[in-house]
Amino acid sequence: MNRILSVVGCSLALFATLPSSAQISLVNPVPHEVKVTDAKCLPLPKAWKVVTTDALSDCAAANALKTNKVGVSVSSSASFTVTLGVKGDKCVAKVKDMIPDRHEGYYLRIDKKGAVIAAADETGLFWGVQTLLASMAEGKLQKAEVTDWPDVPYRGTVEGFYGTPWSHKARLSQIEFYGRHKMNVYIYGPKDDPYHRNQWREPYPQDEAARIQELNEHAKKHGVKFYWAIHPGVDIKWTVEDRDHLMAKLEKMYALGIRAFAVFFDDIWGEGAKADKQADLLNYVDDHFIAVHKDVAPLILCPTEYNRAWADDSKGYLRTLGTKMNKDIHIMWTGNTVVHCIDKESMEWINSRIDRKAYIWWHFPVSDFVRDHILMGPAYGNDLDIADTMSGFVSNPMEHAETSKISLYGIADYTWNMQAYDSQKDWEAGLREVLPKNYEALRTFALYNKDLGQNGHGFRREEGDELLPLAKRIENGEAGALKELQETCTRLDKAVDALLADHSNPELNRELRPWLLQGKNLAAYGYDVACMAVCLKEGSAAVGGKSFQALYDAAKKKTLEMYELENSDVRHALQPGIKVGTKVMLPMLNKLFTATVTAYNTQNGTSLEASADYNPFKLTSDVAQLALLPVSVRGNDVTVAPALEVINWQKDGSFTIEGDRDITFAGMDFNFGVPKVAGNFRLELFTNGAWREVSLLHYSDNDPVIHTGNELGGMTARKLRITNVSGQDLQVYFKHFKFVKQ
């Protein structure tokens, strides 16, 4: 039988012809091939009988049927039968030719008597069950045949961001989400887990080891490979002793039940960054650990040169890995830069150097380098014809695990069936997934939280495009434009109120709260500015019972409240600010405010302040990676957000912080991640019209924190400057910077 003839094309073409109620269209990811045998749906069975082999009776797929959340019970006497089997099992022998010859592939047939799920392997069987369950989400059943498989072998996430690691509860929830949407990999590598990175030689304490065990077991139940990653590069010595430390740690993790491992060497320099040493170590691990334990997944390496911008072909780091390292070891890659979308040309470039298909680590929707934003937009920008050029594709999500699901919903679809991928459709569906009862409000708010703002990586996303025509009409003074702006601000305000009151997803509510409060401020500011413009345009004495002066005062008060909220305790840990609508909405409002106040001053001979933004501190720098870091205030502490990668601080490069008034200093310290570097930098304060140097020192030889001399206390200055005076380019980190004002 020719299966191609029995299937109606690919699902992308098919779904366009299906009625909107088609149950299979509820499935995510989009299946590759679907044949609907009857457009009329069946009622959901009250019970089903599960038929399978003894070997599969307790597998993840069978258990998913038994513990389903669609309201179907399991009964040996039920008339509706679900048959499960993998290729070679007698129970699915009649459909063996329908099973795709692809890893994790499956065939599903649903009719009035029951369902048959036949797969290439147990994981594929689990995915078939997920398709069956997802198709029943609206309480109906579609008679259909589905033939399906993944485009990319390894699909999922890497918890590899800097900042507050996910909670144990959040990780469990993430794993369940991956299983529902056919993502098969979760790489555990949080930068702030000390036993992953800084204390990599040490075993986990008993309670933390137990949590990792639970995560691993939970992953097995949901078709997900739990990869545990170790990061020895910060202080590894290329000795037999340290090699044995690494092997001992891996063995301890194996004893906990872990069966998939990764080794990270990212964001380091110096001794740990040598390609030949890394290759030798990984080969040793591959030969003496992975190969010895027959049940362990292929090893993954995150290299030091993990993007094209950092790759130096003349030194041959990547080519050394490609030629020296065992070919079954995966090598991770972020693209042309640290944060970048992936295209075919860049895949060809990296694959030719590492002599294997790269394993993509996509830095989206991660926000650890723009923590003042929360990213709620769609996942888009990667080529749709590169599935066969990569061995894996994992997303690096935000520390906000629940909000990350909005984008991850689409990433699951993209990696499963690239040609059918529709980022906008998946974005809408992802919003419904995380907050089904308040989808419209969440969608409205998400429109203002897609872009990252200006950042050192230059990675931007579309945001506020639907407002661009309105902004143009306002600029042209068109009738009705200001009223539409008022309505837009009112919609945002109502959406925020609805979300603040919605506790159906408590974790989402907790994560979004700082931005929801700022969104309410933005809506109020925008409404006041629109009313100011109406008042001026119509020559009215008042709008909504408020005079121009009252509206002006209210708008200025809101800008101050936005600043104060940004620097309040409502922020999450390490969050430098709270930004909403920064790409189109806020710039549009600020421009309208300035233009309106300027025109009012001209008409009335007044001198109202026309500047919209309020921020008492400004950072400028000719060190590219520092120039866009935000400055924030908490009480008397003024901090600069950390940079997360190695800083290439050029000779004579500097950064300056300037206040809007004189600052009286009570103290200062900063951490460039390297001991004994205080002498390479000069700190100066601009006081009494001249720069005055302040001494720098370490309290101990091993302490990377740089402190100031006693002369700083009580000094008053408008700005400070730190300069690389070493006479050469330096590589440092920028882990922490703070000064304390009186």
The contacts found for 520-524 with CB under 8 angstroms, 24 or more apart, are 520/493, 520/496, 521/558, 521/561, 521/562, 521/565, 522/448, 522/489, 522/492, 522/562, 522/580, 522/581, 522/585, 522/586, 522/589, 523/489, 523/490, 523/492, 523/493, 523/496, 524/489, 524/493, 524/554, 524/558
Q: What is the pLDDT averaged over residues 160-175? A: 96
With a cut of 50, say whether residue 440 has pLDDT above it: yes
**Residue 358 backbone phi and psi in degrees, to 5:** -70, 150
Q: Which two tokens stand for residue 72?
A: 């179907």
Q: Which two tokens stand for residue 682?
A: 């000069």
Q: What are the residues facing 144 on neighbouring strands? A: 36, 110
**pLDDT value at position 214?**
98
Q: How much of the chain exceeds pLDDT 90, in percent?
A: 88
Provide the annotated active-site residues.
267
With a cut of 60, say whether residue 653 has pLDDT above it: yes
Q: Identify the CA nearest to 445 among candidates 393, 497, 395, 501.
A: 497
Q: Which two tokens stand for residue 239?
A: 């000795």
Helix axes 439-446, 481-501, angle to 10 degrees: 120
The single residue listed with the structure tokens 């800008």 is: 559
Residue 90 in contact with residue 55, Cβ under 8 Å?
A: no
Q: How distant is the alpha carbon of residue 83 from its chain centre? A: 38
User: Tens digits of per-residue pLDDT, 505-551?
Assistant: 999 999 999 999 999 999 999 999 999 999 999 998 899 899 999 99
**pLDDT value at position 374?**
98
Report the amino acid identity of residue 332: M
d(CA 99, CA 89): 12
The secondary structure of 435-488 as a DSSP string is: -GGGHHHHHHHHTTS----S-TT------SGGGHHHHHHHHTT-TTHHHHHHHH
Give the three-class secondary structure for 638: strand
Residue 84 in contact with residue 51, Cβ under 8 Å?
A: yes
Give the three-class secondary structure for 633: strand
How many CB atoms neighbour CB 30 within 10 A?
A: 23
524: enclosing H helix or E strand: helix 506-538
207: enclosing H helix or E strand: helix 206-221
Please report, in angstroms and rounded to a whole number, the separation of the first and last CA atoms in the chain.
82
Q: Could you tell me the pLDDT band of residue 14, with boundaries at 50, 70 and 90? A: very low
Strands (E), 484-608: 542-543, 546-547
Q: What is the pLDDT averaged over residues 29-48? A: 93
244: enclosing H helix or E strand: helix 240-255
Residue 377 in contact with residue 407, Cβ under 8 Å?
A: yes
Q: How distant is the alpha carbon of residue 320 from its chain centre? A: 31
Average pLDDT in the chain:
94
Report the amino acid identity of residue 557: K
Q: How many CA atoms lie within 13 A of 697 on its CB side?
A: 9
**pLDDT value at position 6?**
33
Q: What is the pLDDT averaged over residues 446-468? A: 95
Residue 640 in contact with residue 647, Cβ under 8 Å?
A: no
User: Tens digits of per-residue pLDDT, 313-340?
Assistant: 999 999 999 999 999 999 999 999 999 9
With a cut of 60, say whether residue 705 has pLDDT above it: yes
**Residue 716 backbone phi and psi in degrees, to 5:** -115, 130
d(CA 394, CA 665): 45
With a cut of 70, say whether residue 2 has pLDDT above it: no
**pLDDT value at position 670?**
95
Strands (E), 91-153: 106-111, 114-119, 140-148
**pLDDT value at position 191?**
87
Q: What is the pLDDT averaged over residues 658-662? A: 92
With a cut of 90, say whether residue 614 has pLDDT above it: no
Q: What are the residues facing 193 on neighbouring strands? A: none
Q: How many CA atoms lie within 13 A of 456 on its CB side?
A: 25
With a cut of 50, say whether residue 717 has pLDDT above it: yes
Q: Could you tell me the pLDDT band of residue 109, with boundaries at 50, 70 and 90? A: very high
Residue 44 in contact with residue 115, Cβ under 8 Å?
A: no
Torsion angle of C-alpha atoms 534, 538, 540, 546, degrees rounded to 10: -10
188: enclosing H helix or E strand: strand 185-188
**pLDDT value at position 603?**
96
d(CA 660, CA 683): 20
Burial of 424 (0-12, 13-18, 19+ CB in 10 A): exposed
With a cut of 70, say whether residue 617 has pLDDT above it: yes
**pLDDT value at position 23?**
86
Provide the b/e sequence for 238-252 (b: ≥16 CB within 10 Å).
eeeebbebbeebbee
d(CA 132, CA 115): 8
C-alpha torsion sign, points 506, 191, 378, 423: negative
Q: Could you tell me the pLDDT band of residue 13, with boundaries at 50, 70 and 90? A: very low
User: Tens digits of per-residue pLDDT, 55-78?
Assistant: 999 999 999 999 999 999 999 999
d(CA 107, CA 128): 7
User: Tens digits of per-residue pLDDT, 121-154?
Assistant: 999 999 999 999 999 988 999 999 999 999 999 9
d(CA 41, CA 10): 21
Q: Could you tell me the pLDDT band of residue 270, with boundaries at 50, 70 and 90? A: confident
Q: Could you tell me the pLDDT band of residue 613, with boundaries at 50, 70 and 90? A: confident
Provide the b/e sequence for 114-134 (b: ≥16 CB within 10 Å).
bbbbbbbbbbbbbbbbbbbbb
With a cut of 60, say whether residue 7 has pLDDT above it: no
**pLDDT value at position 277?**
97
How many CB atoms neighbour CB 292 within 10 A?
A: 10
Higher-confidence residue of 433 and 270: namely 433
C-alpha torsion sign, points 465, 467, 473, 477: negative
Q: How much of the chain exceeds pLDDT 70, in percent?
A: 97
Q: Which two tokens stand for residue 201?
A: 């030689």
Q: Could you tell me the pLDDT band of residue 630, with boundaries at 50, 70 and 90? A: confident
Q: Identify the CA nearest to 3 among candidates 91, 97, 85, 92.
A: 97
With a cut of 70, say whether residue 683 has pLDDT above it: yes
